[in-house]
């Protein structure tokens, strides 16, 4: 398969900050800025505390799809899912085929294009690594695509994400396809269910939501894809817009090849990923992605352009062995500028400065366990999320930089979804971290109460899906807001 020109991606190395909010029609506990949020404990191998947020939505399954299809709209997702003879979504391959993104082993250039990511600041930030990459699938184009459709998938999440362009309004529509597995009913999904090919098939209880359905939840597409607020246009996001595309798999770059090497340590040659045939998986194509971001008109609109060439060069100069060996982590003054901007209140955290986000010893252990499972030497797969480099957690966005004051903690942890750009009709707009000085006492008390809930609570702020605060950080915020 030759290099091809593709369209754009949904949250490719982009950011989703920590939201905590509730569906508009869901009952709220005292508070009113998102008391029924869902979260996932990133260390848990049982599903998916996200269930709480989807259970709070008023419709599911066929009634939800019927309601979605009854709304105005004309795009490839609706073309595939709303027609009378629409196929049952029995797995990821069925969804891909329905929206025009299906693969065949010998399809060559007729197959969709794709890109693999070894790190992301998207919804899947705490699950994505070279061992469990985020997969972006799309059709290639040399010009703006009137039938634009793109799909993102990460094993273990329990959903796929879609972007499509409306043929009449020319605006972007965002979708989330939520699915369950046989293990979901009793919340007993294991790593085998979540992080192997089993996660891609035998779907049940599939629900399709659009960005309107999700507008007041932690899955709100607009929090990142409409950063200018409800009157601004929605946009595609790609931080790493130039070669060497630091966190993208690519056989033609040093960093991309290093990510492929780690992936191959765990995954056998005959294993598909995201319904992509195994003989095709070597063709991850960030060069085409860059081209298409520009063609689609979003190249100059990125909130945090990540200068891959400069940052990687500085990292390599500072830490011998990069990008293959990433401990000790590298250093980059260009990256520090992006990070300081985020700490000052910008809702978009930058992608990590090093190519790899993982601990080599953890990767070796998890890869060996995964290989043992695929060879039939073990009855269960490992938790593939247990690979991150602990000392990198603050700069990955999983935790916060030490030493921040209360205002800094709230900005870094909450500004992405609680800022002055929000649609005022959303309940979470009642908490705006840019206006702490004028925040009323009742709101401050609700913030404190929500932050002090156990991390396993669906009402905990910020959601554990995105980042974890220490007890000291929560106490510091409580002391400041109690004044």
Q: What confidence category does residue 3 fall into, taking pLDDT thresholds of 50, 70 and 90?
A: very low
Instruction: Report how far apart, in Å, the C-alpha atoms of 308 and of each of 311, 350, 355, 388, 393 are.
Output: 5, 11, 10, 21, 20
Q: In what order do the strands lie in the sheet with 134-138?
A: 113-117, 134-138, 149-153, 159-165, 172-180, 204-210
- Looking at the predicted structure, is the pLDDT value of residue 44 above 50? no
Domain for residue 237, yes or no? yes
Domain for residue 444, yes or no? no
Domain for residue 86, yes or no? yes
- Looking at the predicted structure, is the pLDDT value of residue 22 above 60? no
The single residue listed with the structure tokens 């991390």 is 455
Report, as an integer, the average pLDDT of 200-210: 97
3-class SS of residue 241? coil
Domain for residue 333, yes or no? yes
Domain for residue 446, yes or no? no
Domain for residue 70, yes or no? yes
pLDDT tens track for 183-193:
998 889 999 99
Q: What confidence category does residue 436 fall into, taking pLDDT thresholds of 50, 70 and 90?
A: confident
Domain for residue 192, yes or no? yes
What is the pLDDT, as a whole number, of residue 402? 95
Dihedral sign for Cα atoms in the order 211, 215, 220, 221: positive
Q: What is the mean pLDDT of the chain?
A: 87
- Looking at the predicted structure, is the pLDDT value of residue 412 above 80? yes
What is the pLDDT, as a whole number, of residue 6? 34
- Looking at the predicted structure, is the pLDDT value of residue 9 above 50? no
Q: What confidence category does residue 27 fall into, taking pLDDT thresholds of 50, 70 and 90?
A: very low
User: 101 is in which domain, residue-wise?
Assistant: 1-17+44-382
- Looking at the predicted structure, is the pLDDT value of residue 34 above 70? no
Cis ω before 244 (30° cut-off from 0): yes
Q: Are 212 and 400 in contact (CB under 8 A)?
A: no
Number of domains into which the chain is organized: 1
Domain for residue 324, yes or no? yes
What is the C-alpha to C-alpha distance for residues 334 and 311, in angstroms, rounded to an integer?
Answer: 6
């Amino acid at each position: 398969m030759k290099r091809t020109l593709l369209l754009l991606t949904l949250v490719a190395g982009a950011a989703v900050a920590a939201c905590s909010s509730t569906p508009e029609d869901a009952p709220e506990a005292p508070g009113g800025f998102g008391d029924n949020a869902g979260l996932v404990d990133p260390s848990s191998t049982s599903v998916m505390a996200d269930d709480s947020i989807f259970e709070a939505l008023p419709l599911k399954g066929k009634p939800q799809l019927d309601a979605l299809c009854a709304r105005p709209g004309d795009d490839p997702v609706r073309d595939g899912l709303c027609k009378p003879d629409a196929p049952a979504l029995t797995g990821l391959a069925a969804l891909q085929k329905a929206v025009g993104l299906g693969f065949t082993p010998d399809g060559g250039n007729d197959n969709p294009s794709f890109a693999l990511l070894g790190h992301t600041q998207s919804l899947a930030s705490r699950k994505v690594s070279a061992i469990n990459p985020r997969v972006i699938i799309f059709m290639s184009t040399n010009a703006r695509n009137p039938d634009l459709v793109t799909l993102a998938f990460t094993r273990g999440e329990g959903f796929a994400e879609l972007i499509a362009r409306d043929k009449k309004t020319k605006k972007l529509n965002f979708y989330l396809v939520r699915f369950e597995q046989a293990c979901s009913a009793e919340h007993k999904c294991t790593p085998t269910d979540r992080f192997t090919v089993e996660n891609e098939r035998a779907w049940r209880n599939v629900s399709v939501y659009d960005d309107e359905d999700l507008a007041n939840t932690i899955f709100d597409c607009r929090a990142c894809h409409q950063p200018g607020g409800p009157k601004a246009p929605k946009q595609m996001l790609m931080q790493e817009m130039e070669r060497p595309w630091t966190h993208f798999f690519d056989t033609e770059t040093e960093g991309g090849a290093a990510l492929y090497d780690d992936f191959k340590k765990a995954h056998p040659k005959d294993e598909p990923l995201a319904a992509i045939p195994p003989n095709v998986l070597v063709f991850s194509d960030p060069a085409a992605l860059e081209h298409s971001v520009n063609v689609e008109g979003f190249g100059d609109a990125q909130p945090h352009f990540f200068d891959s060439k400069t940052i990687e060069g500085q990292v390599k100069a500072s830490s011998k062995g990069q990008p293959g060996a990433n401990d000790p982590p590298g250093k980059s003054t260009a990256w520090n500028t992006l990070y300081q901007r985020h700490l000052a209140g910008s809702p978009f955290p930058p992608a990590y400065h090093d190519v790899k986000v993982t601990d080599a010893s953890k990767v070796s252990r998890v890869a060996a366990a995964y290989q043992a499972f695929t060879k039939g030497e073990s009855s269960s797969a490992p938790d593939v999320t247990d690979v991150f480099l602990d000392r990198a957690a603050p700069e990955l966005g999983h935790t916060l930089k030490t030493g921040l004051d209360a205002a800094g903690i709230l900005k870094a942890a909450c500004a992405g979804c609680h800022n002055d750009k929000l649609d005022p009709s959303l309940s979470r707009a009642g908490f705006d971290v840019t206006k702490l000085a004028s925040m009323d006492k009742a709101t401050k008390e609700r913030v404190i109460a929500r932050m002090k809930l156990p991390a396993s609570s669906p009402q905990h702020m910020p959601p554990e899906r995105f980042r974890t605060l220490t007890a000291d950080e929560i106490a510091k915020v409580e002391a400041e807001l109690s004044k």
